[in-house]
Structure 1
Amino acid sequence: MTPAVIGIDLGGTNCRAALVGTGGRIGEIRRRPTEMVRGYDAWLAELVAGLEELLRQGEGLGLKVAAVGMGAPGLISGDGTVVASPNLPHLDGRPLAVDLAARLKRPVTVANDANASAWGEALFGAGREFNSFLAVTLGTGVGGGLVLNRRLWLGADGAAGEVGHWTVVPGGRLCGCGNRGCLEQYASARALAVSARERIAAGEASALAAIPAAELTSRQVGEAARRGDALALGVLEEAGGYLGQVLGGVANLLNLDGAVIAGGAVESFDLMQPAILRALRQHAFPVSGRRMSVVPGRLGDEAGILGAAALAGLSEQF
């Protein structure tokens, strides 16, 4: 049988999983909402049921699934325990890798989702052109993963790269991490909708005002911006400015070759890019600011899946 792994990208909103074979060949991506309203145990049972179905599918295709890799949001310890997950607090303190391995009867690696995405882009996507780069994922939250000299840098406690919790507005919006004014509260996909709702409530005119506030999404903000809606364009410019501010600080600290922007909000990257670059150049030393290229990710949903699969211990096959 042909060796394979299962790669899982667990996000704050959706969970995606797929069989990954040699050469990084990826099968059909299965998606399901990340719902934990009934608690950790019920969620885990549903996840395992879906993964067992994938295992059976793999066997039918002649694949021997030797391991499972997952990218999950939050601070993940070396043994795959979720130390803290601001966007999925039901996972806090849970030995996720051990729990999954016991049920699936296979080795399981759990890593931070942004680190998995960064490693996927490093091996197969936009990160291939950089020796050292920061990957920033704009999804439900804002994740970050560092690749230094073609190695994933996790830090002493596995907590490196958490740019989403870099303070950009002192005393600003309350973040799930307990801090106020984090980048995550102003540049994530969810934050774009929040910013738009706040501007509408303050009286700014926009076609988005016709959408019920509870139903407004970042995608709708991006679509309105492409139609020239001034409020939507302002939201994206503000978010890009905050992101560029953080990238400027990162450039000064690490003098990286580039930054790869991925996640749900990347659909609007071209509209945000001018503001990102202006703020980056404003906040970085000239030599570091010029060095850092800012590019969109190339892998979409596949980045975290491929990265998690590679981190599962079979990276030599990719």
Structure 2
Amino acid sequence: MITCFDIGGSAIKCAVATADGRIGELQRVPTPVHDFAAFTAAMGALIAAGGPSRGVAISIAGVIDPLDGRIKCANIPCIDGRTLAADLGAALGLPVWIINDADSFALAEAQAGAGRGHATVFGLILGTGVGGGLVIGGRLIGGPGGFAGEWGHGPVAASFAGTPPQAIPRFPCGCGQSGCLDTVGGARGLERLHLALHGQLLDSRQTVAAWEAGDAAAEHTIACFVDLLRGPLAMLINTLGASILPVGGGLANSAPLIARLDQAVRAAILRKTAAPIIVPGQSGAEPGLIGAAWLGQEKLETAHA
């Protein structure tokens, strides 16, 4: 069995996974964000409670440098900058494999969600910001470090959107650039857009709810939001040949929003199809644990091949 973790700034979630990628009963404890000894102790206790383990697979928000294995994880200071797999392996006495949470979602969707039966799957995250992961032939492309699939970064956001065209500010991005899709494409981006267009600060959920209820200002914001994403997503699909883009993150909870985005993107791609391509994720409530389980199983199979 493999012990799987989905680790965030507020909670460590853990479950044991079997060889077919199924996960068992969920355990949850608070994340010790400032004390690495307490962090490893919490993980060790969860591993012990689950019984004998062949390894530890972790889904976590952050990116891992492919050259030295150091993680960048702003919301858990005690692990930020560490060679986390090596440090945890030494502390826990087990092999440790780490996967970025967006990659984990993509792998979960390819193996157990909307991507089943599709050769090329791009897991699309529309959460606080935007992100993604690419799976081809059941294998995660670019490794689990989290740098591949980051379609949200790069100064390519359009300066005008909507009908008639509306000027869109070049918002500064946390990556150090301005005009990244991450600044307009997720929940915070939707809030920025609504504030810039209408001078009103609304939570993204309120904006979506107002749009679904027929509010004209919210309709204008959603139209610009979809317009800003349709071109980049169309190019992504044309480049990768992905036949399905399951969506995770908070904005995926609005089926009408995802359907509208799908319709706009399908009208802009080379391949013409009546079947939806951008769809809500279907891998279940714990895609982080499911993706980690599949990664761990793949690593074990490779080690014993």
TM-score normalised by L of structure 1: 0.76
Whole-angstrom CA distance in 1 between matches of 2:12 and 2:44: 15
SS of residue in 2 equivalent to 1:128: coil
CA shift in 2, pair 1:149/1:313, >3 Å:
closer
1:181-192 matches, cutoff 5 A: 181-192=179-190
Instruction: Give the structure 2 partner of residue 173 of structure 1.
Output: 171
Instruction: Give the structure 1 partner of residue 150 of structure 2.
Output: 162
Shift of 1:310: 1.8
Between 297-306 and 69-78, the greater mean CA deviation after superposition:
69-78
Instruction: Give the structure 2 partner of residue 304 of structure 1.
Output: 288
Residue from 255, 267, 284 that aligns with 2:253: 267
Whole-angstrom CA distance in 2 between matches of 1:195 and 1:31: 36
Pair 1:47 & 2:63 matched: no
Q: Counterpart amino acid of 1:18?
A: A
TM-score normalised by L of structure 2: 0.79
Shift of 1:157: 8.1
Instruction: Give the structure 2 partner of residue 240 of structure 1.
Output: 226
Residue from 122, 138, 141 that aligns with 1:134: 122
- Cα deviation code 1:241-280 (max 9, x no counterpart): 3332221011221222121111222101422421342145
Q: 1:251 touches 1:288 (CA, 8 Å); kept in 2? A: no
Q: 2:19 touches 2:297 (CA, 8 Å); kept in 1? A: no
Between 156-165 and 167-176, the greater mean CA deviation after superposition:
156-165
Whole-angstrom CA distance in 2 between matches of 1:124 and 1:155: 19
Whole-angstrom CA distance in 2 between matches of 1:67 and 1:128: 26
CA RMSD of aligned residues (A): 3.4
Whole-angstrom CA distance in 2 between matches of 1:185 and 1:55: 38
Instruction: Give the structure 2 partner of residue 219 of structure 1.
Output: 205
Between 93-102 and 7-16, the greater mean CA deviation after superposition:
7-16
SS of residue in 2 equivalent to 1:256: coil
1:71-86 matches, cutoff 5 A: 71-78=59-66, 81-82=69-70, 84=72
CA shift in 2, pair 1:291/1:92, >3 Å:
farther
Whole-angstrom CA distance in 2 between matches of 1:129 and 1:139: 26
As a proportion of its length, which structure holds more helix? 1
Instruction: Give the structure 2 partner of residue 277 of structure 1.
Output: 263
Matched residue pairs, number? 291
CA shift in 2, pair 1:227/1:292, >3 Å:
closer
CA shift in 2, pair 1:127/1:33, >3 Å:
farther
Q: 1:140 touches 1:189 (CA, 8 Å); kept in 2? A: yes
Between 90-99 and 133-142, the greater mean CA deviation after superposition:
90-99
SS of residue in 2 equivalent to 1:56: helix
Between 185-194 and 174-183, the greater mean CA deviation after superposition:
185-194
Q: Counterpart amino acid of 1:190?
A: R
Instruction: Give the structure 1 partner of residue 97 of structure 2.
Output: 109
5+ residue gaps, structure 2, are: 160-168
Shift of 1:163: 1.0
Pair 1:287 & 2:285 matched: no
Whole-angstrom CA distance in 1 between matches of 2:39 and 2:210: 36
Q: 1:73 touches 1:88 (CA, 8 Å); kept in 2? A: no
Q: Counterpart amino acid of 2:252?
A: V
Whole-angstrom CA distance in 2 between matches of 1:292 and 1:301: 22
Q: Counterpart amino acid of 1:181?
A: G
1:82-101 matches, cutoff 5 A: 82=70, 84=72, 93-101=81-89
SS of residue in 1 equivalent to 2:53: strand
Whole-angstrom CA distance in 2 between matches of 1:85 and 1:51: 17
1:4-19 matches, cutoff 5 A: 4-11=1-8, 16-19=13-16
Shift of 1:226: 3.5
Whole-angstrom CA distance in 2 between matches of 1:195 and 1:35: 35
Q: Percent identity?
A: 34
Shift of 1:178: 1.2
- Cα deviation code 1:74-104 (max 9, x no counterpart): 4324488245457778755321111222222
